[in-house]
Structure 1
Amino acid sequence: MSIIVFPAIDLKGGQVVRLAEGDMDRATVYGDDPSAQAQLFAEAGAQHLHVVDLDGAFAGEAVNRSAVEAIIKSFPGYLQLGGGIRTREAVEGWFNLGVARVVIGTAALTDPEFVRDMARAYEGGIVVAVDARDGMVATHGWADVSDVPVADMARRFEDAGVASLLFTDVGRDGLLKGCNIDATVALARTTDIPVIASGGVKGLDDIHLLSLHAEDGIEGVITGRALYDGRLDLATAIAMASR
């Protein structure tokens, strides 16, 4: 079985950036043309793209809308978008513009019924972000940490019809420490919902190890800094994930 490799484009002030542990004050800028970056990923063979409006995650509404719209126009594959999407109007608006899947994080904790409603309205289109610090769910752009364990959060949506869970170990994100494969696989084994791994991917070993657990429910992996720093070749990663 194969898994999906999602190259990531994180947006802050209209620029392509990567954060360290979700800290907006620890941003590295990798470019000022997000649509061109999306095209490069497509040329390398990416059929899926993960985009995050980082400013939107803190504001609770779209901030980098023009950049996202430019990416939608330039990327021919499936675009998965997250960051501050907390209302029905926001969800509907992005689907109408051509986004394939919408990632809901904070609202999944604060308003689970909203997620259920959207999952019913957009079958296969809703991804729930389960972001964790020390095993507990983090919200509001990872600035706050709840008292809800990751596994409990996942189980809340097992019968809701969500497409996937996006699991990020915030303590590893953007640090190239390696993906927390044990925690990701453990989550996948405790739920019937497919899991996308995120946070800390540093090279092909992470892609290979995650692909070995496709049958455990690992659907894909998101990678960002390793691509931008040249530690991971996207075409090679996609080929390995497809074996």
Structure 2
Amino acid sequence: MSFTLYPAIDLKQGQCVRLIQGDMDQATVFSQSPADQAKAFEDMGFKYLHVVDLDGAFAGQSENRESVANILKTVSMPVQLGGGIRKREHVEAWLDAGISRLILGTIAVRDPDFVKSVARDFPGKIAVGIDARNGMVAVEGWAEVSDLDALDLAKAFEDSGVAAIIVTDIGRDGLKTGVNVDLTADMAKSVSIPVIASGGVKSSQDIKDLRESGAPISGAILGRALYDGDIIPSEALELASC
């Protein structure tokens, strides 16, 4: 089974940052030029880019359009984008702009029928972002935790045309404490939709653990550990291709 690694670019006020557990007040700036960072990832050999508009996630609309547009002009690899995409016009505008796949998070909880509708209308273009704290779904840029179980939300999109589910353990995100293999594996076994792991990846061992979990996990998001040099791109890519 193919396993894709997605280097992450999180955008805050036009800069490339990493957060601690989704806390906007705990942001480390890694690059003033997200487009240059995207190009660097492409040159390392990565084949797909994961971008999140952090400001947009809180505002409910895209706030870093210029930065995203510059990324699209700079790299040729496909880009998936999340953060503040909650209306059909948002979906259409970003797909027209050249985004390969959109990640819908808060709206997947608030209005799952909307997500199913755009997933049908734009096959292969819609992913669902499920952000969990202690197994429960968080929304509004992780500022609120709902009473909805993460696995139940994933199952709700079975057979809806959703191209992927990205599951993030918020409690681990940005901490390099190790990815939540159990949560990801449980979700991958529960649905036929491809599941991508996110949050806490600290080394290439996490990639190996995900691949050897016995579940059909389809990929992982790489964040702070990649920026800090704890993950060697060539080594990680080799593990992913085995």
Indicate if the aligned counterparts of 1:193 and 1:217 stay in contact, CA closer than 8 A. Answer: no
Superposed CA deviations along residues 119-152 of structure 1, whole A, max 9, x for unmatched, are 0111011100111001100000000000000111
The aligned counterpart of 1:227 is: 226
**Corresponding residue SS for 1:62:** coil
- Alignment of 1:175 onto 2:179: no
- Determine the C-alpha separation between the residues in 2 that align with 1:2 and 1:208: 13
Indicate if the aligned counterparts of 1:7 and 1:49 stay in contact, CA closer than 8 A. Answer: yes
The ranges of structure 1 where at least 4 consecutive aligned residues each deviate by more than 2 angstroms after the TM superposition are none
Letter in 1 for 2:157: F
- Determine the C-alpha separation between the residues in 2 that align with 1:202 and 1:54: 22
The count of corresponding residues between Structure 1 and Structure 2 is: 242
Report how far residue 118 of structure 1 moved.
0.6
- Determine the C-alpha separation between the residues in 1 that align with 2:128 and 2:172: 19
Indicate if the aligned counterparts of 1:42 and 1:75 stay in contact, CA closer than 8 A. Answer: yes
Gaps of 5+ in 1: none
Report how far residue 182 of structure 1 moved.
1.0
Report how far residue 75 of structure 1 moved.
1.4
The aligned counterpart of 1:191 is: 191
Superposed, which structure 2 residues align to 1:161-172 within 5 Å? 161-172=161-172
Superposed CA deviations along residues 102-129 of structure 1, whole A, max 9, x for unmatched, are 0000000001111011101110111001
- Alignment of 1:120 onto 2:120: yes
Indicate if the aligned counterparts of 1:132 and 1:170 stay in contact, CA closer than 8 A. Answer: yes
Superposed CA deviations along residues 26-45 of structure 1, whole A, max 9, x for unmatched, are 11110100000000000000
Question: What TM-score, normalized to structure 2?
Answer: 0.98
- Determine the C-alpha separation between the residues in 1 that align with 2:190 and 2:22: 26
Gaps of 5+ in 2: none
Superposed, which structure 2 residues align to 1:23-42 within 5 Å? 23-42=23-42
Letter in 1 for 2:155: R
- Determine the C-alpha separation between the residues in 2 that align with 1:67 and 1:236: 29
| Identical pairs, percent | 52
- Alignment of 1:239 onto 2:238: yes
- Alignment of 1:202 onto 2:202: yes
